[in-house]
Every structure is written in structure tokens, then in C-alpha cells.
């Protein structure tokens, strides 16, 4: 797999820098600076609405 379980990467989500961990086959963990937490939560919620998740 290109992004195997147990690995992490630092990347951008919208305008926020995040650390994305793949913790399982279908599970991920996101860490973000506290100052960007509300922005990232809103970004993910909007994406979920777009895909009706």
C-alpha cells in the first residue's frame, strides 16, 4: 500500500498543516495545532456533508 497502516505524514488539509496517521485499514488519526482545530473540524464536517457521510 502507498500509505501503510502505522505510518504517518505531515500534509495540508485546506489551509491547515496536519499530521495524518493511518491507524487501521479504514481508520485514520489527525493531529492539528489547537489554533486550527475549529477550522479543520469545520472542513471535515463540510466534506462529510458533501458526501452525505
Look at residue 53 and tell me whether its pLDDT is greater than 70: no
Look at residue 1 and tell me whether its pLDDT is greater than 70: no
Give the pLDDT score at 29: 97
Look at residue 52 and tell me whether its pLDDT is greater than 90: no
9-35, pLDDT tens digit by residue?
999 999 999 999 999 999 999 999 999
Rounded to whole angstroms, how far apart are CA atoms 20 and 33? 13
Q: Look up residue 49 and give its three cell numbers.
A: 456533508
Amino acid at each position: 500500500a502507498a500509505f501503510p497502516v502505522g505510518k504517518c505524514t505531515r500534509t495540508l488539509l485546506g489551509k491547515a498543516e496536519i499530521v495524518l496517521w493511518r491507524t487501521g485499514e479504514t481508520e485514520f488519526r489527525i493531529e492539528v495545532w489547537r489554533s486550527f482545530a475549529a477550522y479543520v473540524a469545520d472542513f471535515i464536517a463540510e466534506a462529510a456533508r458533501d458526501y452525505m457521510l
